[in-house]
Amino acid sequence: MLPQEFLNRMKILLGTEYADFLAGYENSHRFSLRWNPLKGGEVPQEQIKKRLPYLQEAVPWAKYGYYYEENVRPGKHPFHEAGLYYIQEASAMAPAAFLNAGPGERILDLCAAPGGKSTQIAADMRGQGLLVCNEIHPARARILSENIERMGICNALVLNEAPDTLAERFEQYFDRILVDAPCSGEGMFRKKEEACREWSMQNVELCAKRQDEILDAAAGMLKAGGRLVYSTCTFAPEENEGSVSRFLARHSEFSIAPPAFADGFTGGRGDWVENPAPGIENTVRLFPHKVEGEGHYAAVLIKERENKEANRPCKTEAGTREKECGEFAGFLRQYIRKELTGVLLKFGDQLYLAPEGTPSLHKLKVLRAGLHLGTLKKNRFEPSHALALALSDSDVKYAKNLDSHGQEAQAYLRGETLQAEGEKGWYLITVDGISLGWGKLTGGVMKNHYPKGLRG
Sort strands 156-159 and 366-369 into parallel, antiparallel or unpaired.
antiparallel
96/390 Cα distance (integer angstroms): 22
Kindly state the helix (H) or strand (E) to which residue 156 belongs, with its residue range. Answer: strand 156-159
C-beta of residue 235 within 8 angstroms of C-beta of residue 186: yes
Q: Is 111 a catalytic residue?
A: no
Give the integer Cα–Cα distance in Å for 409 and 142: 26
Using CA atoms, how far apart are residues 109 and 186, in angstroms rounded to an integer? 22
Contact predicate 133/99, CB 8 Å: no
Question: Beta-carbon neighbour count of residue 136 at 10 Å?
Answer: 20
Catalytic residue among 111, 183, 233, 325: 233
Which residues are CB-neighbours of 348 under 8 A, at least 6 positions away?
none
Answer for the pair 216, 250: CB distance below 8 angstroms, yes or no. Answer: yes
Stated length of the chain: 456
Number of H helices, E strands in the chain: 15, 23
Question: Can you say whether the dihedral through the CA atoms of 278, 282, 286, 290 is positive or negative?
Answer: positive
- In this structure, the number of other CB atoms found within 10 A of the CB of residue 1 comes to 8
> Coil, strand or helix: which one is 116?
helix
Q: What share of the chain is helix, strand, coil (3-state, %, to 5)?
A: 35, 25, 40
Q: Which residues are the active-site residues?
A: 233
